[in-house]
Each structure stands twice: as C-alpha cells, then as structure tokens.
Amino acid sequence: MQVPKRRLWPQVLLALCLTALATGLVLRMTWQEGSWRALASFDIRWLLVALGLMLAAWAADVLRLQAMGLGMGYRIPAWVALRTNLLGYFLAAITPFAIGGGPLQIYSLYRAGLPVGHAAAAVMGSGFIAHLSLAVLGLLFVFGLGLEVSADPVIDSVVRWTLLAYTIGLFALTVLLWQVHRARRVIGAITLGVLRIFMETGRAHARAAAVDAAVVELSRGLRMVVGRWGGWALAGAAAYQVYFLCLFSTVPALGVGLGADPPYWRVVALQVPIYLLGSIVPTPGGSGGLELGMAGVLLGHVPDYEIGIIVAAWRLLTYYLPLAVGGIVLAMFVRSSVGDGPGQAERDAGSA
C-alpha cells in the first residue's frame, strides 16, 4: 500500500474560496453599526476558551480511535491517532460531502503497523459510529431534554421527526450490517430497484454490485471494531459524544465573548442537524451550507449584528485551523513516507 499521490492545491483553493464566500455573505447580511462595537469589545479570553474546547475535541477523538484499536487488539499511540485524525480533518475539509479522508487515514494506520483490513475497519467502523452517535445525541437533546429546535411549530415538528426517522434508519442499517449474510439479498434488491429508476439495467447491476461489496466491507469493519467484547466500541462512541459536545460548545463560548448570553443547550442541540446536513452538502467540507445553517441557529439567540462575527470566528476554529494543521501534518507525512516499504514504519504500534 502506498501513500496517495495527487495534487491537492486546486481542491484546497476551491474549498477556501467557497468557505470565504459563504462567511463573507453571512457577514454582509448581518453586519450593522453595532458589529464594530461588538468586535472591539470582544473578550479574547473567550476565544482562548473556544480554542481550548477545540483541542479538547481533538483529544477526545484521539481516545476514540485508540478505543477502536483496542477493540481489535491494537494499541495505537496517541501521536499516531492524532496524526491519523488530522489527516482525516484535512481531506474532509476539501472534498465534497466531507468524506475524502478515509484512504489516507487507513494508510496512516497501516504505516503504524495495523494490517490494511484492520486499519480499514477502524476508519470505516468509526465513521459509522460517528453518525450514529451524533443522531443519538440529537435525540437526547430534542426528545430527552424537550428542547425546541425552532420557535415555528411546523419547522420544529419537521426537524424532530426527520431526526427520529434518520436515527431509526441508522439503527435499522446497523442491524442489517450485523446480519449482513441474511440482509444482503434485501439490501441488494432495494439498491438495484432504486438504481434502475435512474440508469439503464447494465449500469444499475454494476453499481449494485459495488454497493454490495461496500456493504460487506462495512459489516466486516463494524464486527472487527466491536470485537469479542463491545465495551471498547461503546467507549469509542462515548468519546465521540465528548468530541461533539466540545466542538458544539465553541459557539456559545464565542457568543459570551461578545457579551451575549446564548442559551447553551439549545445552541448546542441546534448544531446537531446542521452537522448532519453538512454530510450531504456536495461542497468541500460542507462549505456554504454550514455557514448559512449556523447563522440560522444563532438567529434569535444573539443580537443580529453579532451573528457574522461568531460564524467567522467559529469557522476559523473549526475549519481553517484543522485545514492548516492537517495540511502541515500531511506534508510531513508524505515526506516521511518516501522510500518506506509497505508497513515498515512504526511496526511496534500494533504489538498488543
């Protein structure tokens, strides 16, 4: 297995332009005379608090990957887990649907001594658990704590039931993946039926075969991550909850820094559907949809003239920072990979 070699500058520039354009649009729509005063009075200590929350989220994500490795019998060093995650953050930030980091993360773990199949299981299984964890977190906020997503009862009802249906769908998919030997025929029939609506029969069969192979691989990865004892998978899911809570808490912290008093749990809860939306927006890193979605989350919870400032600072921490740090890590990783044989480096990481 070799490190992927591809020029990424065009994607990076496109991602930066789209994010800057969307953030600029939010600033333009919300900037008022009071914005200058709010910016001048911003308490820098709360920016440091938000930065600390981002670093705490990264630390939780390191623990998550280590838990997934332990579930398969591997001890992944913290620095290897951090490198792997940063590579994933970088590629996700510059690829449509935020899904581009998987192959490079797999290679990073492979270089750390994990067999390719186990590395793929850790990455793919973790991604699936991430979506499931986020959906469960959303249900906890919306149904468990009874938080209103919107003051409009129609919008609130639509979001609530959409989130419930999404979570039920993920749980159903989990059961199907766990019993994939029984469910392959059902999944294959549904997939083929849908594909035949949009393309001719030959291409539909070819795509359905590819989906079938992906389903089998994901099922294998999920079983490997859970391992003989599911405790490590649960620990990884718990670490994901901490990751998302720290990440979502950056927004209220920035609001307090501007002198606002946003309702903490409501602002945190409203970010769950925004991030789920980011995974289906066909732009690099969800650019455009996330900025506008966050502006909608803040509307009515902070003064309008502060919304653009908060969105810009939030994107600086959650997008530009991982992009910059991940880019540096990627450059160092590619340089260190030159001349290495497959699986030669850091072989002791998988000694457990």
**Residue 270 within any structural domain of the chain:** yes
Residues 6+ apart with CB under 8 A from 322: 86, 89, 90, 93
What one-character-per-residue DSSP string does 296-326 give?
HHHBTTB-HHHHHHHHHHHHIIIIIHHHHHH
In the predicted structure, residue 238 carries a pLDDT above the cut 50: yes
Q: Which of 20-34, 101-115, 266-280 has the highest mean pLDDT?
A: 20-34
Residue 100 to residue 119: CA distance in whole angstroms = 16
Position 350 pLDDT exceeds 60:
no
Q: What percent of the chain has pLDDT over 70?
A: 85
- 138 domain-assigned: no
Answer whether 86's CB lies under 8 Å from 78's CB.
Answer: no
pLDDT > 90? residue 312: yes
User: 290: burial class by Cβ within 10 Å (0-12, 13-18, 19+)?
Assistant: buried
Neighbours of 98 (CB within 10 A): 23
* Average pLDDT estimate for 325-340: 81
- Of 4-8, 24-28, 102-106, highest mean pLDDT: 24-28
Top pLDDT among 251 and 13 is at 251
Rounded CA gap, 327 and 315, in Å? 16
Q: How far apart, in whole angstroms, are the C-alpha atoms of residue 184 and residue 213?
A: 10
Q: Quick one: pLDDT at residue 227?
A: 61
- 324 pLDDT band, cuts 50/70/90, is very high
Domain assignment of residue 312, yes or no:
yes
Q: What is the torsion angle, in degrees rounded to the nearest 10, for the CA atoms of residue 69, residue 70, residue 73 and residue 77?
A: 60
Q: How far is CA 294 from CA 26, 146, 156, 205, 248, in A?
A: 10, 21, 16, 40, 11
224-237 tens-digit pLDDT: 766 655 678 788 88
Q: How far is CA 217 from the centre of its chain?
A: 20
Contact predicate 120/14, CB 8 Å? no
**Whole-number pLDDT of residue 125:** 75
Q: How many domains, in total, are found in the chain?
A: 1
C-beta of residue 292 within 8 angstroms of C-beta of residue 221: no
pLDDT category at 242 given cuts 50, 70, 90 is very high
Q: Is residue 225 in some structural domain?
A: no
Cβ contact 326:266 at 8 Å: no
What's the confidence (pLDDT) of residue 97? 56
The answer to whether position 326 is within a domain reads: yes
Window from 33-37, 192-196, 211-215, 346-350 with minimum mean pLDDT: 346-350
Q: What pLDDT is attached to residue 346?
A: 41
Residue 103 inside a domain? The answer is yes
Q: Is 216 among the domain residues?
A: no
Contact 296, 78 (CB under 8 A): no
- Listed in sequence order, the DSSP H helices in 199-230 are 201-226
Instruction: Tell me the C-alpha to C-alpha distance, in Å, between residue 125 and each of 106, 130, 178, 219.
Output: 12, 9, 12, 8
Residue 237 resides in a domain:
no
- Domain, as residue range, for 85: 9-113+244-295+305-342
Task: Check if the beta carbon of residue 207 is closer than 8 Å to that of residue 195.
Answer: yes
Give dist(CA 226, CA 196) in Å, integer.
35
